[in-house]
Amino acid sequence: MGLLSRKASCNSHGQDSSYFLGWQEYENNPYHEVTNPKGIIQMGLAENQLCFDLFESWLVKNPDAVSLKRDGKSIFKELALFQDYHGLPALKNALVDFMAEIRRNKVIFDPNHIVLTAGATSANETLMFCLADEGDAFLLPTPYYPGFDRDLKWRTGVEIIPIHCTGSNGFKITLSAIEEAYQQAQKKNLTVKGVLITNPSNPLGTTMAREELDLLINFIDDKQIHLISDEVYSGTVFNSPSFVSVMEVLKDKNLEKTQVWERVHLVYSLSKDLSLPGFRIGAIYSNDSIVVAAATKMSSFGLVSSQTQYLLSAMLSDKKFTKEYVSENHRRLRQRRRDLISGLEKAGIRCLDSNAGLFCWVDMRHLLNSDTFEAEMELWEKIVYDVKLNISPGSSCHCVEPGWFRVCFANMSENTLQIAIQRLESFVSSIATINTQSHEELKSLRKKTRNNWVFRLSFQSFHDREQDDR
């Protein structure tokens, strides 16, 4: 190991998290309705497979985009040759228009302030490199996406300090929780460079209230630090309340061209809103020209292929298609969530009320043997290995309350979801049966003990009377 770097030989990647371990178990025994019907169903992957028919229909109608042609003439050579890391202007223009459309055009984005990256993972890490040095800290509200332990920390050396949120108020951010996290960082002699949020939240599936965003803006203004808003799920908001971007709040507070305006940065991606994680289209949006310039240079380590940029610029420029897609995607997500919630309710399981995302934050605290994370892991292992469902335990998301789980619903067919629900219902029913049997056995034991006690008491009383008679 002495010939390797410390980075290669250390264990700070986070791959040993139960979040990733569940994936490994799924990959070793993946469910297939024909070839492996008893395999593990993947409910730990936040992927949207509900609208591929819409994409395929568009591709059939737009053969030039697929064939790398413009006005019927091949541009293969043009796209195959070197492109600089600023990205194709056509994609950047189309992307900022799509981002504005999702936000109901209440925010207008400047294509000169956007940096293309190979997915949101690259965007978040690049921002860490731009805003913080090794040993500095960012504050993150819990529960948060388990991959952040890898994306934000592994190569940058930046520390994460959790802002502990609880189920008592629906896991909303409070000023006391932020201040406590900030003080915790100071006690560790860490310089806090900013706060990173996901809005809509992964794993909660909820959008942030304007009051929370106001609180965050005031906090970073007071502390003179940055705010990163990861808004990769902004196009998945399928129920009210509607999505409010932090950029909209800044605009409403007339904070354009101020210092705080330049310290707020967005991360975006087409992996969730357009269901295209394999295309690796991510973006950083910043009002700070120095951050944009630095991030653009860093993007050379994770460029998006010109062919991908050309195809998606054509797709996003088709405004009729994007509007129809977003509307239909919302409808299908809403229905799919309703199907999951209905099935869970039949099993006696409830979820946090949510309005966005590709998952539900599921409350299984009543199924724990004790109010501990050890009990949570015991339950998770039963669900993965016995029930054959891969879900993500709350502890992998740094939730402070044991018994919560993230359950994804959009990465499978409707039939597979129903099978998953049936498995979970059977599992919960078996627990209830065991508990009932244990209760009956306890009652029987108590009755037997009581009868023995009554018999011994009666015998002792009879014996005492005999002694008295003598």
Give the pLDDT score at 137. 98
CA distances from 193 to 130, 137, 179, 299 (A): 11, 6, 14, 21
Say whether both 101 and 239 belong to one domain.
yes
| Residue 449 in domain | no
Task: Give me the CATH number covering residue 408.
Answer: 3.90.1150.10
Give the pLDDT score at 13. 65
| Residue 361 in domain | yes
| Residue 401 in domain | yes
| Residue 349 in domain | yes
How far is it between the farthest Cα atoms of the chain?
A: 122
Give the pLDDT score at 9. 73
| Residue 436 in domain | no
Dist CA 271 CA 282 (whole Å): 8
Range of the domain at 88: 67-322
Dist CA 274 CA 45 (whole Å): 16
Given a contact cutoff of 8 angstroms between Cβ atoms, the answer to whether 40 and 25 are in contact is yes
Say whether both 254 and 336 belong to one domain.
no
Q: Which helix (H) or strand (E) holds 162?
A: strand 159-163
Given a contact cutoff of 8 angstroms between Cβ atoms, the answer to whether 91 and 237 are in contact is no
- What's the length of the chain? 470
Say whether both 235 and 298 belong to one domain.
yes
Record the tokens describing residue 327, joined without a space: 């509307």
| Residue 462 in domain | no
Task: Give me the CATH number covering residue 175.
Answer: 3.40.640.10
Say whether both 81 and 24 belong to one domain.
no
Give the pLDDT score at 6. 80
Given a contact cutoff of 8 angstroms between Cβ atoms, the answer to whether 273 and 50 are in contact is no
Q: Which helix (H) or strand (E) holds 366?
A: none
Last residue of a domain, one of 279, 296, 322: 322
| Residue 129 in domain | yes
Dist CA 357 CA 379 (whole Å): 25
CA distances from 216 to 133, 167, 248, 366 (A): 22, 20, 14, 33
**Nearest-5° Cα angle at 281, 334 to 321:** 50
Say whether both 45 and 74 belong to one domain.
no
The tally of domains found in the chain comes to 2
Dist CA 169 CA 179 (whole Å): 17
Say whether both 187 and 299 belong to one domain.
yes
Record the tokens describing residue 198, joined without a space: 């996901």
Give the pLDDT score at 432. 66
Dist CA 161 CA 140 (whole Å): 6
Say whether both 318 and 389 belong to one domain.
no
| Residue 182 in domain | yes
Say whether both 401 and 286 belong to one domain.
no
Give the pLDDT score at 448. 55
Residue 113 DSSP symbol: G
Say whether both 18 and 84 belong to one domain.
no
Last residue of a domain, one of 322, 349, 369: 322
Given a contact cutoff of 8 angstroms between Cβ atoms, the answer to whether 423 and 58 are in contact is no
Give the pLDDT score at 292. 97
Say whether both 237 and 346 belong to one domain.
no
Q: Tens of pLDDT along the chain (470 residues)?
A: 578 888 777 766 666 778 888 889 999 999 999 999 999 999 999 999 999 999 999 999 999 988 998 888 888 888 888 787 789 999 999 999 999 999 999 999 999 999 999 999 999 999 999 999 999 999 999 999 999 999 999 999 999 999 999 999 999 999 999 999 999 999 999 999 999 999 999 999 999 999 999 999 999 999 999 999 999 999 999 999 999 999 999 999 999 989 999 999 999 999 999 889 888 999 999 999 999 999 999 998 989 999 999 999 999 999 999 999 999 999 999 999 999 999 999 999 999 999 999 999 999 999 999 999 999 999 999 999 999 999 999 999 999 999 999 999 999 999 999 999 999 999 999 886 655 544 445 345 445 544 554 444 444 544 454 444 44
Say whether both 111 and 228 belong to one domain.
yes
Say whether both 301 and 393 belong to one domain.
no
